[in-house]
Amino acid sequence: MKTPEEYLESLKRDTIVYIMGEKVKEFWNHPLVKPSLNAVMKIYELAQISEYQPLMTAVSNLIGERINRFTHIHQSVDDLIKKVQMQRLVGQKTGTCFQRCVGFDAANTLYSVTYEMDKKYGTSYFERFTNYWKEVQQKDLMVAGSMTDPKGDRSKRPTQQTDKDMYLRVVEENEEGIVVRGAKIHQTGYLSSHRTIVMPTMALRSGEEAYAVSFGVDTNEKGMTLVMGRQASDTRKMEENIIDTGNYKYGGHEVFVIFNDVFIPSENVFMNGQIEFSGELVNRFAGLHRQSYGGCKPGKGDVLIGATALISQINGVPNVSHIKDKIIEMNLLNETLFACGVACSALGFQREAGNYEMDMLLANVTKQHVTRAPYEISRLAEDIAGGIICTMPSYADFNSEEVGHLLKKYLNTSDEVSVEDRYKIIRFIENFTMGASSLAYKTESLHGAGSPQAQRIMIGRQANVEEKIGFVKEILDLN
């Protein structure tokens, strides 16, 4: 397994990305990217610490060696539970998106889907994928996952779009491989990753075979154009006084990835035209990724609750009844999310390929709660922190010779806590609930792994209301 330093060095490849209008080659030195790399480096660091190895590592069923759990194929219900516990741990250590979940969930999806495709069609996708993933495990690579297409006019199917590239598709094929064109947007941690797994974004129909494609590719492959997305208050990371950033050590990022006729060799293609399995691939990935939110969001929630409790202490109000009750409510909501993540894992089952998958209904219930609770937790944090999180002067003013001493005088609340520490915590809460970190906590909670209606559709399909009606009929002896 890689050390954090080895991981960082391994990313220093010929990759070009556009960041705020600038063409950047050595992206690892860019202030908007560094916090993301720090967050991923924390994963590599934790895997090296013996105390955390039961959660952070596992023994591979593919290569028989101890590996980073983020590259593991789940082999038991215990693995599913440890996944959620691990994600909470990393969230607690970084307070942000650590970017490694999407590729993790994509791998576990493809493991079973490729096996079932081969069984039906006599293809060799399972062998291709397992060979590809063995290398990922052996080299301890960071792998992203790419599912979301631009989609164009949402009322139209892929082939009905005026521009057929609104959904990524195969435009050329020969014995050596395929050529793909299109885009994948909102790509979490793309610059932090060595590779990505590309998947279709929806269930496809007859005539849409060109869009039913899945493959693995290096994130710096020839023909890709990368454009980094913006976040609220992101330019604070570029200022000299990084204390105003809030969470100045760790962060996440999103990238728009345009595939300009990119060649994919056959050995890295894991689906090509099998429309019957496209919907199942999307559903399984969505379920596994919705399970993930029962781990990562409670970990970040722990951090926000900690910051809120700390600011209440600094402000001298930790024992005020309504403050105590609000922090209890924050913990209740946060632990509910974790309980859902553990529950869907505990009721996991084994697929025909041999890997384990969570309970689909409860995974969707988990994510539906995640679309709501972080917003209420954030509201309570802002309530307790006070309006100063929106009005506090800059750190440059805080340290200026002219007005700094006045700000330090009037921002002081306690002789036991430094004014600077209070400043840092206020900025941290601001960043968490309405700044760049709010992407990783609030907005991602709403839209990541599918927007709220997607989970409600799945819950409606799987809740089996007819069975519940049957329970009543049996109890009451109804026909």
Q: Can you say whether the dihedral through the CA atoms of 422, 426, 432, 433 is positive or negative?
A: positive
Q: Are 308 and 37 in contact (CB under 8 A)?
A: no
Identify how many contiguous H helices and E strands the chain contains and give both numbers: 18, 14
Straight-line distance from the first to the last Cα atom of the chain, in angstroms, rounded to the nearest whole number: 62
Distance separating alpha carbons of residues 84 and 153, to the nearest angstrom? 36
Pairing of strands 66-68, 57-59: antiparallel
Active site residues: 97, 101, 188, 254, 289, 293, 296, 444
Q: Can you say whether the dihedral through the CA atoms of 151, 157, 163, 164 is positive or negative?
A: positive
Q: Are 114 and 350 in contact (CB under 8 A)?
A: no
Per-position b or e across 326-353, b if 16+ CB within 10 A of its CB:
bbeebeebbebbbebbbbbbeebeebeb
**CB contact set of 71 (below 8 Å; sequence gap of 6+):** 60, 104, 107, 133, 136, 137, 140, 141, 143
Q: Shortest CA distance to 72 belongs to which of 169, 140, 8, 128?
A: 140
The 8-class DSSP code of residue 230 comes to P
In order of 67, 143, 379, the CA distances from 64 in angstroms are 9, 20, 47
Q: Are 290 and 296 in contact (CB under 8 A)?
A: no
The strands making up 213-218's β-sheet, listed across from edge to edge, are 143-146, 195-198, 213-218, 269-272
Alpha-carbon Rg for the chain in angstroms: 24
Can you tell me whether residue 108 is helix, strand or coil? helix
Can you tell me whether residue 253 is helix, strand or coil? coil
The 8-class DSSP code of residue 392 comes to P
